[in-house]
Amino acid sequence: MQRNWIGRSVGAHIVFPIVGTPHQASPAPDPPSGRVPRGFPSVTRGEEDSLKVFTTRVDTLFGATYMVVAPEHPMTEALCGMGRCPAEGRRRIEEMLRTSKARRTDETAEKIGVDTGARCRNPATGEAIPIFVANYVVMDYGTGAVMAVPTHDQRDFEFAKKYNLPLRVVIQPPGGTLNAEEMRTAYVEDGALVNSGPFDGLSNRTAMEKMAGWLKDRGQGGPTVTYRLRDWGISRQRYWGNPIPVITCDGCGIKPVPESDLPVRLPEDAVFAAHGGNPLARVESFVRAACPDCGKPARRETDTMDTFVDSSWYFARYTDASNGRAPFDRSKADAWLPVDQYIGGIEHACLHLLYARFFHKVMRDLGLLSSDEPFTRLLTQGMVLLGGSKMSKSKGNIVDQDDMVEKYGADTVRLFILFAAPPEKDLEWNESGVQGCFRFLKRLWRLIDLIETEKRRNGETERSVYVKLQQTIRKFRGDVEGRFQFNTAIAACMEFLNVLEADRDVQSPKLQTQEIPGRDFLQSAKGAGGVGPAQRREAMKAILSLLSPFVPHIAAEGWRRLGLEGEAETASLPEADLSALDVDRVQIAVQVNGKVRGRIEIDAGAAEPDVARAALALPNVAQETSGRKIEKQIYVPRRLFSVVVR
RNA sequence: GCCGGAGUGGCGGAAUGGCAGACGCGCGGGACUCAAAAUCCCGUGGGGGUCACCCCUCGUGUGGGUUCAAGUCCCUCCUCCGGCACCA
């Protein structure tokens, strides 16, 4: 997406000499409305007698039959003067300039052109071609002037038809012949060059490179890369922001505040009003300043900087935040940066992320720090939606969490938000799942009750529960630390609690007296019959420690009630006992021709022949394989055994 | 049009190329209760079978391909979401 935003285009620039002498015409390339950036490369000193264009299709140069420039182009007025453009034409150019750029360049807007009357010379063909001013040409991209090739660019084609401009075919499609008079649309595909002097017969792809070089040799242009970095207005007419350290003096002009006077601090007595613009402008003590050059009374800039400015480099300042002499010390910045993990919404992917990278590279080039990139990893978190669109105050589609906190408690709400979806995914808000998290925490709490009141502190240890706990710890840490998958980490805790609760002692005394069909089966299946108080306590300690970041209040209180050392939130996360995860028996699936036909339990370290023997002995498998030839066997240790028959 | 991202049960969502649907919600059945809430137990993708146990079959937006094996890899198309868009 940034590539799109940066807008890199590879092409060539070409210089079109203007016919006649512009110096004799009205000089005035002073921008009519002040919108034109000064010093833009389209006109540099000594080049007022030519127009420079950028094109990605230099191969079509011989077909350029006219030229279009943006209304804001610095040469516009001079060209009109030279070409004796009638008043009517000049009036229409004025109108273009008055229309907002957004409206003027709207795709549906009518394409309007005005013939300036001036001409320039196509450096390839040498012929003089007309120069138009057109509303759809923008000054921010390329040079603000475009060579028009109506036969091979749809937009130019339509424009040429409208204003009756000449067409010349310079590319012929493979196996076909174009005729300019009969064309109904531009031909934009590849082909072989014609009407292109020394380049006739070349494929247009080959020609691109050759022609760029040819132009360069002749001093008429050369290969160029352009970028479409958008303007980003950093000044804001509001109080909250960094003052722009600039002073305007009537005599000396715009002057930077001397370094010794930095930083410029915001006044604390500004008066805020609903209307009336930037409050800073009304604080006279702030505005009044002495000119750094002549010392006479001058005005301080009252615009402040956009927050993007700060957020594009604050991470570097954080490495040395109390440094009073410099933004930060290089050694400290190099020790900490780049930032390991960036977390932000997708809306930052183009804007903040791009500008932060930009700033960072500038800081690198200035020698302030060494790293090339500010961030190493990116997590684009999803947004919370309601009714299909992003929750926001301005849209009014918000859910007040206070109601939910009131009803279920802050821990439940936190847990639910994390459990509902993985972080990078957008989440359509739906409260129905919150009950489930509430129930989970209530069950957890009940178990803490039980453990707290238990007198005995020893008892049996159930191996399968121990193993399950180790699996839970490993999964939890893997999910949280590696992938930010909080939802599955929480699910693992729920799963473990289910196992723990299957234990007879854990169930309520009332239920224990009842005959529940299937309960014995359940318990033996989960193997949770022999959990003793000590094991329960250990397990709870681990779970509380894991869950503490998500449900800090319950974890802290549970920790305290169990009389555990220290505090849940500062206790280090438990480490999984990896040796326990090396189970000796595993269940594997048995496939015949890719379909599961049965399961067997084997020693984890069993050799393939033994596995094969056991697998093929399964009735279902034997049935499928009987009388058929075994072509292939695949054994994925501890996972499955697959046999291919024919 | 271009650039991103996503399509899996009724829902939110799981699944290093290796038993699709973990966990939760919802729903159905049951226990407890005079009753309800809360709680607990069982079941829960579709279709089928000599439907207790069990087995077969279809199934991850569409159509193809690679593979012993595809939600996962490759190609085609469709839909939705986000961004950019007369960019020469």
The tens digit of pLDDT for each residue in A553-588 reads 999 999 999 999 999 999 999 999 988 887 778 888
Q: What percent of chain A has a predicted confidence (pLDDT) above 90?
A: 36
Q: Which of A13-17, A22-26, A347-351, A562-566 has the lowest mean pLDDT?
A: A22-26
DSSP one-letter code for A263: S
Query: Which ranges in A99-203 belong to alpha helices (H)?
Result: 101-104, 154-163
Question: To the nearest whole number, what is the mean pLDDT of chain A?
Answer: 83
Query: pLDDT for A150-182, tens place per residue?
Result: 999 988 998 999 899 999 999 998 888 888 888
CA distance A83 to A52: 18
Q: Determine the pLDDT at residue A524.
A: 35
Q: Determine the pLDDT at residue A526.
A: 35
More confident residue, A365 or A388: A365
- Residue from A16, A75, A47 nearest A215 by CA: A16
Q: Determine the pLDDT at residue A108.
A: 64
Q: Determine the pLDDT at residue A102.
A: 62
Query: pLDDT for A279-309, tens place per residue?
Result: 898 899 999 999 999 999 999 999 998 887 8
For residue A622, the surrounding DSSP H or E stretch is: helix A619-625
Angle subtended at Cα A521 by Cα A516 and Cα A523, rounded to the nearest 5 degrees: 90
Q: Determine the pLDDT at residue A549.
A: 94
The single-letter code of the amino acid at A172 is Q
Angle subtended at Cα A218 by Cα A212 and Cα A220, rounded to the nearest 5 degrees: 65
Interval A342-350 mean pLDDT: 74
Token reading at A99: 């229309």
Interatomic CA–C1' length for residue A63 and nucleotide B88, angstroms: 14
Contact status, residue A416 vs residue A437, Cβ threshold 8 Å: yes
Q: Is the CB of A443 under 7 A from strand B?
A: yes
What are the E-state strand segments in A328-391? 339-345, 375-381, 384-386, 389-390
Token reading at A428: 């359509």
Phi, psi torsion values for A249, nearest 5 degrees: -115, 135
Query: Which nucleotide C1' is nearest A437 CA?
Result: B24
Long-range CB pairs of A341-344 (<8 Å, 24+ gap) are A341/A375, A341/A376, A341/A377, A341/A378, A341/A379, A342/A375, A342/A377, A342/A378, A342/A379, A343/A379, A343/A381, A344/A378, A344/A379, A344/A380, A344/A381
- Among protein residues, the one whose C-alpha sits closest to the C1' atom of B19 is A589
Distances (CA, A) of A124 to A62, A196, A220: 6, 8, 9
Which DSSP string corresponds to A489-501?
A: HHHHHHHHHHHHH
Interatomic CA–C1' length for residue A595 and nucleotide B59, angstroms: 14
Query: pLDDT for A402-456, tens place per residue?
Result: 888 998 999 999 999 999 889 888 888 888 889 999 999 999 998 998 888 877 7
Contact status, residue A53 vs residue A131, Cβ threshold 8 Å: no
According to DSSP, the residues that pair with A592 across neighbouring strands are: A595, A643
Tell whether the torsion through CA atoms of A575, A336, A552 and A399 is positive or negative.
negative
Query: pLDDT for A196-237, tens place per residue?
Result: 999 999 988 888 889 999 999 998 989 988 887 666 777 888
Interatomic CA–C1' length for residue A432 and nucleotide B10, angstroms: 14
Token reading at A478: 């893997």
On strand B, nucleotides with any atom < 7 Å from a protein CB are 2-4, 11-16, 18-20, 22-26, 31-32, 38-42, 55-57, 68-70, 81-88
Q: Is the CB of A634 under 7 A from strand B?
A: yes
More confident residue, A29 or A617: A617
Residue A583: how many CB atoms within 10 A of its CB?
Answer: 12
Which of the 505-524 residues on chain A come under 7 Å of nucleic strand B at their beta carbon? 507-508, 510-511, 514, 516-519, 522
ipTM of this model?
Answer: 0.92
Q: For residue A338, is the peptide bond before it cis, meaning its omega torsion is within 30 degrees of 0?
A: yes
Q: Which of A199-203, A244-248, A492-496, A595-599 has the lowest mean pLDDT?
A: A595-599
According to DSSP, the residues that pair with A384 across neighbouring strands are: A427
Q: Is the CB of A154 under 7 A from strand B?
A: no
Query: pLDDT for A518-544, tens place per residue?
Result: 333 333 333 345 677 888 899 999 999
Q: Is the CB of A348 under 7 A from strand B?
A: no
Interval A16-35 mean pLDDT: 52
Q: Determine the pLDDT at residue A504.
A: 53
DSSP one-letter code for A282: G
DSSP one-letter code for A187: -
Interatomic CA–C1' length for residue A388 and nucleotide B78, angstroms: 21
Interval A305-325 mean pLDDT: 89
CA distance A419 to A409: 16
Q: Which of A35-44, A106-115, A315-324 has the lowest mean pLDDT?
A: A35-44
Band of the pLDDT at A36, cuts 50, 70, 90? very low
Going by their DSSP bridges, the two strands A128-134 and A66-69 should be labelled as: parallel
pTM: 0.75
